[in-house]
Amino acid sequence: MDLVKKYTKILKEKFQEPEFQNDIDNIFIYYYKKCTMNLENNERNSWIFDDLDRMFNLMFLQGYLVMNETMKENEDLLETPKEPITYEEVIQEMPNIIRTLFKEHPEVLNVKICNEFAIDVLTAMDQDLYEVITNSFNEIAYYGGCYAYIHKYEENIIREHKNELTSFEGLHFLTPQVYMYQKPNDESLTYELYGWAGSILNNQWLGRVQFNPFKKDGDSLLAEIMLSDLIAAAEKNEIISLIMNILKNTTKVADNEKTIFINHFNVSTTNTYVIENVAVQAK
Protein backbone atom coordinates (compact mmCIF):
# COMPACT_ATOMS: atom_id res chain seq x y z
CA MET A 1 0.00 0.00 0.00
CA ASP A 2 1.45 3.39 -0.95
CA LEU A 3 1.68 6.15 1.64
CA VAL A 4 -1.20 8.23 0.29
CA LYS A 5 -3.58 5.28 0.47
CA LYS A 6 -2.23 4.30 3.88
CA TYR A 7 -2.79 7.69 5.49
CA THR A 8 -6.05 8.31 3.66
CA LYS A 9 -7.33 5.12 5.28
CA ILE A 10 -6.03 6.18 8.70
CA LEU A 11 -7.69 9.59 8.45
CA LYS A 12 -10.99 8.08 7.31
CA GLU A 13 -10.95 5.87 10.40
CA LYS A 14 -10.04 8.80 12.67
CA PHE A 15 -12.80 10.83 11.07
CA GLN A 16 -15.31 8.49 12.67
CA GLU A 17 -14.37 10.05 16.01
CA PRO A 18 -16.82 12.94 16.61
CA GLU A 19 -14.21 15.24 18.15
CA PHE A 20 -11.78 14.93 15.24
CA GLN A 21 -14.61 15.23 12.73
CA ASN A 22 -15.78 18.43 14.42
CA ASP A 23 -12.23 19.83 14.45
CA ILE A 24 -11.71 19.23 10.74
CA ASP A 25 -15.14 20.56 9.84
CA ASN A 26 -14.42 23.77 11.74
CA ILE A 27 -11.00 24.19 10.12
CA PHE A 28 -12.22 23.54 6.57
CA ILE A 29 -15.37 25.68 6.94
CA TYR A 30 -13.29 28.55 8.30
CA TYR A 31 -10.83 28.48 5.40
CA TYR A 32 -13.59 27.90 2.85
CA LYS A 33 -15.29 31.10 4.03
CA LYS A 34 -11.97 32.92 4.02
CA CYS A 35 -11.24 31.92 0.43
CA THR A 36 -14.71 32.70 -0.91
CA MET A 37 -15.92 35.66 1.18
CA ASN A 38 -15.23 38.13 -1.65
CA LEU A 39 -16.01 35.76 -4.49
CA GLU A 40 -19.36 35.72 -6.25
CA ASN A 41 -20.78 32.20 -6.53
CA ASN A 42 -21.71 32.09 -10.19
CA GLU A 43 -21.12 29.81 -13.16
CA ARG A 44 -17.80 31.47 -13.95
CA ASN A 45 -16.43 30.84 -10.47
CA SER A 46 -18.17 27.57 -9.69
CA TRP A 47 -15.02 25.49 -10.22
CA ILE A 48 -13.35 27.28 -7.31
CA PHE A 49 -16.26 26.64 -4.94
CA ASP A 50 -16.55 23.03 -6.13
CA ASP A 51 -12.87 22.10 -5.78
CA LEU A 52 -11.75 23.93 -2.64
CA ASP A 53 -12.82 21.22 -0.22
CA ARG A 54 -10.92 18.57 -2.19
CA MET A 55 -7.81 20.77 -2.19
CA PHE A 56 -8.12 21.25 1.58
CA ASN A 57 -8.31 17.49 2.10
CA LEU A 58 -5.21 16.94 -0.03
CA MET A 59 -3.21 19.59 1.82
CA PHE A 60 -4.23 18.27 5.24
CA LEU A 61 -3.34 14.74 4.13
CA GLN A 62 0.07 15.90 2.91
CA GLY A 63 0.93 17.58 6.21
CA TYR A 64 -0.32 14.55 8.13
CA LEU A 65 1.60 12.09 5.95
CA VAL A 66 4.89 13.99 5.89
CA MET A 67 4.90 14.59 9.64
CA ASN A 68 4.02 10.98 10.45
CA GLU A 69 6.75 9.63 8.19
CA THR A 70 9.27 12.11 9.58
CA MET A 71 8.50 11.03 13.15
CA LYS A 72 8.71 7.37 12.14
CA GLU A 73 12.07 7.73 10.40
CA ASN A 74 13.53 9.87 13.19
CA GLU A 75 12.19 8.43 16.43
CA ASP A 76 14.40 10.68 18.57
CA LEU A 77 13.38 13.81 16.69
CA LEU A 78 10.40 14.61 18.92
CA GLU A 79 10.33 13.24 22.43
CA THR A 80 7.24 11.80 24.03
CA PRO A 81 5.82 14.57 26.26
CA LYS A 82 7.18 14.06 29.78
CA GLU A 83 4.13 15.79 31.23
CA PRO A 84 0.61 16.16 29.85
CA ILE A 85 0.27 19.11 27.47
CA THR A 86 -2.85 20.78 26.21
CA TYR A 87 -4.29 20.46 22.73
CA GLU A 88 -3.97 24.23 22.31
CA GLU A 89 -0.27 24.16 23.19
CA VAL A 90 0.36 21.52 20.53
CA ILE A 91 -1.54 23.48 17.89
CA GLN A 92 0.43 26.63 18.74
CA GLU A 93 3.90 25.10 19.10
CA MET A 94 4.00 22.52 16.30
CA PRO A 95 4.10 24.92 13.31
CA ASN A 96 7.48 26.31 14.41
CA ILE A 97 8.79 22.77 14.85
CA ILE A 98 7.50 21.86 11.38
CA ARG A 99 9.17 24.94 9.86
CA THR A 100 12.46 23.98 11.49
CA LEU A 101 12.22 20.36 10.35
CA PHE A 102 11.55 21.25 6.72
CA LYS A 103 13.33 24.59 6.35
CA GLU A 104 15.73 23.06 3.81
CA HIS A 105 12.93 21.41 1.84
CA PRO A 106 9.64 23.27 2.45
CA GLU A 107 8.33 21.87 -0.83
CA VAL A 108 7.63 18.52 0.86
CA LEU A 109 4.39 20.06 2.17
CA ASN A 110 3.27 21.01 -1.34
CA VAL A 111 0.80 19.06 -3.46
CA LYS A 112 1.15 19.37 -7.23
CA ILE A 113 -2.57 19.45 -8.00
CA CYS A 114 -3.12 22.12 -5.33
CA ASN A 115 -0.31 24.24 -6.76
CA GLU A 116 -1.90 23.93 -10.20
CA PHE A 117 -5.29 24.90 -8.78
CA ALA A 118 -3.75 28.02 -7.20
CA ILE A 119 -2.08 28.98 -10.49
CA ASP A 120 -5.43 28.58 -12.26
CA VAL A 121 -6.95 30.95 -9.69
CA LEU A 122 -4.18 33.47 -10.31
CA THR A 123 -4.73 33.26 -14.07
CA ALA A 124 -8.52 33.48 -13.90
CA MET A 125 -8.94 35.86 -10.96
CA ASP A 126 -6.33 38.04 -9.25
CA GLN A 127 -3.24 38.11 -7.06
CA ASP A 128 -5.17 38.79 -3.84
CA LEU A 129 -7.32 35.66 -4.10
CA TYR A 130 -4.30 33.63 -5.13
CA GLU A 131 -2.46 34.70 -1.98
CA VAL A 132 -5.44 33.95 0.27
CA ILE A 133 -5.78 30.47 -1.22
CA THR A 134 -2.06 29.61 -1.13
CA ASN A 135 -1.79 30.85 2.47
CA SER A 136 -4.85 28.77 3.38
CA PHE A 137 -3.32 25.69 1.73
CA ASN A 138 -0.08 26.15 3.68
CA GLU A 139 -1.91 26.61 6.97
CA ILE A 140 -4.08 23.54 6.44
CA ALA A 141 -0.92 21.51 5.75
CA TYR A 142 0.44 22.75 9.09
CA TYR A 143 -2.77 21.61 10.75
CA GLY A 144 -2.22 18.19 9.18
CA GLY A 145 1.23 18.09 10.77
CA CYS A 146 -0.20 19.16 14.13
CA TYR A 147 -2.73 16.34 14.10
CA ALA A 148 -0.07 13.78 13.18
CA TYR A 149 1.61 14.66 16.47
CA ILE A 150 -1.70 14.77 18.37
CA HIS A 151 -2.69 11.31 17.17
CA LYS A 152 0.73 9.84 17.95
CA TYR A 153 0.79 11.18 21.51
CA GLU A 154 -2.94 11.54 22.22
CA GLU A 155 -2.65 9.82 25.62
CA ASN A 156 -0.38 12.68 26.74
CA ILE A 157 -2.54 15.48 25.39
CA ILE A 158 -5.24 17.16 27.48
CA ARG A 159 -8.37 18.26 25.69
CA GLU A 160 -10.82 20.44 27.61
CA HIS A 161 -13.90 22.12 26.23
CA LYS A 162 -14.44 25.51 27.82
CA ASN A 163 -17.12 28.07 27.18
CA GLU A 164 -16.68 30.79 29.78
CA LEU A 165 -13.81 33.17 30.45
CA THR A 166 -13.30 32.17 34.07
CA SER A 167 -12.03 28.75 32.95
CA PHE A 168 -9.65 29.98 30.26
CA GLU A 169 -6.13 29.41 31.49
CA GLY A 170 -3.43 29.29 28.86
CA LEU A 171 -4.48 29.40 25.22
CA HIS A 172 -7.97 29.35 23.78
CA PHE A 173 -8.60 29.34 20.02
CA LEU A 174 -11.47 31.49 18.81
CA THR A 175 -10.87 30.56 15.16
CA PRO A 176 -8.24 28.41 13.44
CA GLN A 177 -6.17 31.58 12.97
CA VAL A 178 -6.84 33.53 16.18
CA TYR A 179 -6.26 32.57 19.80
CA MET A 180 -6.52 34.47 23.06
CA TYR A 181 -4.29 34.32 26.10
CA GLN A 182 -5.05 35.56 29.60
CA LYS A 183 -3.14 38.60 30.82
CA PRO A 184 -2.74 39.08 34.60
CA ASN A 185 -5.09 41.79 35.84
CA ASP A 186 -6.45 42.12 39.38
CA GLU A 187 -9.45 44.24 38.43
CA SER A 188 -10.90 42.34 35.48
CA LEU A 189 -10.45 39.42 33.12
CA THR A 190 -8.14 40.55 30.31
CA TYR A 191 -7.30 38.46 27.26
CA GLU A 192 -4.89 39.36 24.47
CA LEU A 193 -5.63 38.04 20.98
CA TYR A 194 -2.82 36.79 18.74
CA GLY A 195 -2.40 35.10 15.37
CA TRP A 196 -1.83 31.34 15.33
CA ALA A 197 1.85 30.43 14.83
CA GLY A 198 1.04 28.41 11.70
CA SER A 199 -0.75 31.28 9.99
CA ILE A 200 0.32 34.32 8.03
CA LEU A 201 -0.62 36.27 11.18
CA ASN A 202 2.11 34.37 13.07
CA ASN A 203 1.98 35.58 16.70
CA GLN A 204 0.97 39.12 15.74
CA TRP A 205 -1.14 41.02 18.27
CA LEU A 206 -4.73 41.09 17.03
CA GLY A 207 -6.78 42.52 19.86
CA ARG A 208 -7.93 42.45 23.46
CA VAL A 209 -10.98 41.42 25.48
CA GLN A 210 -11.49 43.03 28.89
CA PHE A 211 -14.39 42.08 31.15
CA ASN A 212 -15.35 41.89 34.83
CA PRO A 213 -18.10 39.28 35.32
CA PHE A 214 -18.06 39.57 39.11
CA LYS A 215 -19.20 43.17 39.45
CA LYS A 216 -21.99 43.19 42.04
CA ASP A 217 -23.46 46.67 41.79
CA GLY A 218 -25.77 47.89 39.04
CA ASP A 219 -27.77 46.05 36.42
CA SER A 220 -25.20 45.93 33.65
CA LEU A 221 -21.65 44.88 32.88
CA LEU A 222 -19.22 46.40 30.39
CA ALA A 223 -16.98 44.43 28.07
CA GLU A 224 -14.41 46.00 25.78
CA ILE A 225 -13.36 44.22 22.61
CA MET A 226 -10.49 45.61 20.56
CA LEU A 227 -9.80 44.01 17.17
CA SER A 228 -6.98 44.77 14.76
CA ASP A 229 -7.44 45.73 11.12
CA LEU A 230 -5.32 42.68 10.32
CA ILE A 231 -8.54 40.70 10.80
CA ALA A 232 -10.95 40.89 7.87
CA ALA A 233 -14.24 42.68 8.58
CA ALA A 234 -16.36 39.56 8.05
CA GLU A 235 -14.14 37.59 10.42
CA LYS A 236 -14.39 40.33 13.04
CA ASN A 237 -18.15 39.88 13.14
CA GLU A 238 -17.72 36.15 13.69
CA ILE A 239 -15.14 36.68 16.44
CA ILE A 240 -17.35 39.24 18.19
CA SER A 241 -20.25 36.79 18.07
CA LEU A 242 -18.08 34.04 19.58
CA ILE A 243 -16.87 36.36 22.34
CA MET A 244 -20.41 37.52 23.08
CA ASN A 245 -21.52 33.92 23.62
CA ILE A 246 -18.55 33.32 25.91
CA LEU A 247 -19.39 36.45 27.91
CA LYS A 248 -22.98 35.35 28.35
CA ASN A 249 -21.81 31.98 29.65
CA THR A 250 -19.36 33.75 31.94
CA THR A 251 -22.07 35.80 33.63
CA LYS A 252 -23.96 32.59 34.34
CA VAL A 253 -20.91 31.16 36.07
CA ALA A 254 -20.56 34.36 38.08
CA ASP A 255 -24.26 34.18 38.97
CA ASN A 256 -24.96 37.52 37.33
CA GLU A 257 -28.10 37.73 35.23
CA LYS A 258 -27.18 41.12 33.83
CA THR A 259 -27.12 42.99 30.58
CA ILE A 260 -23.69 43.08 28.95
CA PHE A 261 -22.75 46.24 27.08
CA ILE A 262 -19.99 45.68 24.56
CA ASN A 263 -17.73 48.48 23.37
CA HIS A 264 -16.11 47.31 20.16
CA PHE A 265 -13.00 49.20 19.10
CA ASN A 266 -11.36 48.88 15.72
CA VAL A 267 -7.58 49.19 16.02
CA SER A 268 -5.46 50.33 13.10
CA THR A 269 -1.85 51.42 12.82
CA THR A 270 -2.89 55.07 12.80
CA ASN A 271 -5.82 55.40 15.19
CA THR A 272 -8.35 53.73 17.45
CA TYR A 273 -12.04 54.52 17.25
CA VAL A 274 -15.34 53.11 18.47
CA ILE A 275 -17.35 51.32 15.81
CA GLU A 276 -20.39 50.37 17.83
CA ASN A 277 -21.88 49.70 21.24
CA VAL A 278 -23.97 46.55 21.48
CA ALA A 279 -26.17 45.53 24.41
CA VAL A 280 -26.42 41.81 24.96
CA GLN A 281 -28.78 40.28 27.51
CA ALA A 282 -27.14 37.42 29.37
CA LYS A 283 -29.81 34.78 29.88
CATH number of the CATH domain containing 262: 3.30.70
What are the tens digits of pLDDT across the range 46-72? 999 999 999 999 999 999 999 999 998
14 and 152 inside one domain: yes
21 and 148 inside one domain: yes
Q: Give the chain's domain count.
A: 2
Tell me the average pLDDT across 151-178: 81
Specify the higher pLDDT residue, 251 or 154.
Answer: 154
pTM for the whole thing? 0.89
149 and 217 inside one domain: no
3-state secondary structure of 270: coil
Alpha-carbon gap, residue 277 to 234, rounded angstroms: 18
Identity of the residue numbered 182: Q
Identity of the residue numbered 185: N
Q: Of 109, 124, 158, which residue sits at a domain end?
A: 158
Q: Is the pLDDT of residue 216 over 70?
A: no
Residue 59 has a CB neighbour count (10 Å cut-off) of 24
26 and 51 inside one domain: yes
What are the tens digits of pLDDT across the range 15-38? 999 999 999 999 999 999 999 998
Q: What percent of the chain has pLDDT over 70?
A: 84
Q: Of 132, 158, 184, which residue sits at a domain end?
A: 158
67 and 148 inside one domain: yes
Tell me the average pLDDT across 89-114: 92
Residue 22 exposure: Cα atoms within 13 Å on the Cβ side: 4
